[in-house]
Chains A and B, each alone.
Chain A
Amino acid sequence: GIQVEQSPPDLILQEGANSTLRCNFSDSVNNLQWFHQNPWGQLINLFYIPSGTKQNGRLSATTVATERYSLLYISSSQTTDSGVYFCAVALYGNKLVFGAGTILRVKS
């Protein structure tokens, strides 16, 4: 099946710093989504981005489908950004395969 690799596995930032999270996948996909799982366990959809670039406030994402990777940018990080960031991909539909996640801790 499709493989999803996320890096780095964990990251500690000082509040206000910027960061880039990476997602590599092993096959051509028609669906890619980024999620944030907060410390209370809630999974929040950040982006649906099978290709191209999107921005939402301090967050932006870029997917280069032909090269099989996606990047999530967090600018001016805040403590509320802490949690686990998941990349999930699907060959078709929404049968998403999740990566292992990047654990982010933002210190004040």
Chain B
Amino acid sequence: DIQMTQSPSSLSASVGDRVTITCRASQGISNSLAWYQQKPGKAPELLLYAASRLQSGVPSRFSGSGSGTDYTLTISSLQPEDFATYYCQQYYNTPLTFGQGTKLEIK
């Protein structure tokens, strides 16, 4: 199985901050990576796929980059509604696997 490791596990930031979350795969995944946002009691929502492609309807302050084994999710200017938990997911191989999550909290 491909292991996905996110860092940090938690992060405190303020509205307006720029934040970056990192996801590292245990082997190369050729940009077969998605990012999700999950709020308490809700299902995850797809933000980006193919490492850098923005899902329809997702604000442009979200962006993704990376290659090989290392990928990042960047939020350019945090908004109040962005405080949530973020997960990466690889779909290069089955079983599909997720990172452990990064909880983004208000400072």
Co-assembled chains A and B: no
